[in-house]
Structure 1
Amino acid sequence: MQALPLAIMALILYLGAASWQGLTLLRRVPQRPALVRVLGLLGLLFHLPVAFKLIDQSPGLMPGLSTAAVVLTAIMVILLLAVSLAKPVLSVAVGLFPVSGVALLLAVGLPSPERTGGMTPGIALHAMSSALAFGVLFIAACQAMLLWLQNRALRHHHTRGVVQVLPPLTTMERVLFELIWAGMALLTLSIVSGFLFVDSMFAQHLAHKTILSLAAWVIFAILLISHHVLGWRGKRAVHWTLGGYSVLLLAYFGSKFVLEIILSRT
């Protein structure tokens, strides 16, 4: 089956799920988490065949920008649907699902890089742990943004709308740090496996990713230590979470965007 119809169907289903959850946050419709999960899962079922096709075309360590975006968003959707069964993070779907659908639609219209050969088990471990770390910390970043909105609303004594739908502030904050701990464990595995199994983590095409990933690791480590020792929370925790994830985002996509889109290099 052609990739474009799959991408269109995934986008429609993702937008449907995100729209319902968004209207839930605005208290325009009742909460229907099962509906949001089902629509998201159906979107994922159309998403995955395109992701597998792109992986098959470019299974190397450094896939192209469009391939990386499609694969990472698929992993993030899987993580969100799974984590939302145990933690109150489903509101992240409002941002994640539309981004996933648009990334998928754009990817089918971009040229795919040439096949570069398969991955060894060690490099596969590095790639998978990197993707999982990126996905978990993305959910943490979205959780931080919701926490900021909740803090701001409560500070201004706005107790309607989003505040009524979201879990209590203490629960939101606890989930945020649980996500950061999980993301840090995966990011640590990614960095360690990279140094063990990749020929040179500071080679020209990998140096930026290595340095920025290490910088993101340091930022999240400072946040976790300061939360435990100094009691950092609230606005400060939000800022450090978003700062760390911004650095990680540059590590994963910054140079790809410059080389493949701005400079038209593959």
Structure 2
Amino acid sequence: MSNYAPSILAILLYTLSFAYLLVKFIKVQELQKNWVITFSGLAIAAHILGLYHLVVHISGYDLGFFIALSLVTCVVNLLVAVSGLRLPILNLFIFLFPFSAIAVLMSLITKSPLTDKAAISAGLFCHIALSILAYALLTISALHALFLAWQNHQLRHKHATGRVRLLPPLQTMEALLFDIVWAGQITLTLSIVSGFIFLEDMFAQHLVHKTVLSMLAWVIYSILLFGRHFQGWRGNYATRWTLAGFCTLMLAYFGSKLVIELILGRQTL
């Protein structure tokens, strides 16, 4: 039970922090950055400690579907918290905190077969780390795109007051979105390349869907960045292509992992 305590604490802190953000949003009040950073830091620390107890076992690693989902949300939260010290993205927590609480809860109540420690080489660990970082960055870009779409809709309909004023100017939001997409695309490129280097066969039966969809997501993000640079894409174009790439990428990993592990009952990395 003591091993579960950090995860339970993380759920509680995420829930309380979400309640704080929701009240601020409903009342149209500015966030107190210090409070948000403090509470998110405590929640993330508890989340990390809880993940360690859930993932690392004497006989191997638990890398099941909900553990992986919890791990990605933890990295996303950490990136948002650190970036939020200087960038206006702390509002993303209003999406992330409730989802994180659910992910941690599901990781507690589900079990998966353990992966042998010897099966994860240094190269494979590098590939996994790059993949998680790419998923985290591009998840942040998708959430940011949703805020951008809402802000754009409000401004188009002459609703420049109220909750929309809590966000930075539209041009700042758009510039930040593409900065995040660039970072995610570079990391995704490194992840795909490392996969071809360190995995025996990227097109093996249990990996082919993940590989093809990941490469398709890479193409979608490349088109988006090309359109931004040469055609000046912004607004709805930016939002739609960002969300299309995100959905494809999430389907690549979590979709295939969901089918293979939870439906077919086979083990994956």
Looking at structure 2, the residues matched to 151 and 181 of structure 1 have their Cα atoms a distance apart, in angstroms, of 21
SS of the equivalent of 1:108 reads helix
Match of 1:234 in 2: 235
Unaligned runs of 5+ in 2: none
CA drift of 1:28 comes to 4.3
Match of 2:36 in 1: 36
Match of 2:87 in 1: 87
Match of 2:216 in 1: 215
Match of 1:13 in 2: 13
Structure 1 residue identity aligned to 2:40: G
CA drift of 1:208 comes to 1.0
Contact 1:54 1:112 in 2 (8 A): no
Contact 1:6 1:47 in 2 (8 A): yes
Higher alpha-carbon deviation: 18-27 or 46-55: 18-27
Match of 2:129 in 1: 128
CA drift of 1:100 comes to 1.2
Contact 2:5 2:50 in 1 (8 A): no
Looking at structure 1, the residues matched to 266 and 48 of structure 2 have their Cα atoms a distance apart, in angstroms, of 27
Match of 1:68 in 2: 68
Contact 1:22 1:91 in 2 (8 A): no
Looking at structure 2, the residues matched to 19 and 229 of structure 1 have their Cα atoms a distance apart, in angstroms, of 42
Match of 1:164 in 2: 165
Contact 1:4 1:105 in 2 (8 A): no
1:89-168 aligned within 5 A: 89-118=89-118, 119-168=120-169
Unaligned runs of 5+ in 1: none
Distance change in 2, residues 1:263/1:203 (3 Å): closer
Looking at structure 1, the residues matched to 86 and 79 of structure 2 have their Cα atoms a distance apart, in angstroms, of 11
CA drift of 1:263 comes to 4.1
**Percent identity at matched positions?**
40
Contact 1:202 1:210 in 2 (8 A): yes
Looking at structure 2, the residues matched to 219 and 212 of structure 1 have their Cα atoms a distance apart, in angstroms, of 10
Higher alpha-carbon deviation: 180-189 or 152-161: 152-161
Looking at structure 2, the residues matched to 66 and 35 of structure 1 have their Cα atoms a distance apart, in angstroms, of 29
Distance change in 2, residues 1:122/1:263 (3 Å): closer
SS of the equivalent of 2:56 reads helix
Contact 1:18 1:36 in 2 (8 A): no
Higher alpha-carbon deviation: 7-16 or 148-157: 7-16
- How many residues matched? 264
Match of 1:78 in 2: 78
Contact 1:20 1:29 in 2 (8 A): no
1:205 matched to 2:176: no
Looking at structure 1, the residues matched to 163 and 124 of structure 2 have their Cα atoms a distance apart, in angstroms, of 42
1:160-199 aligned within 5 A: 160-199=161-200
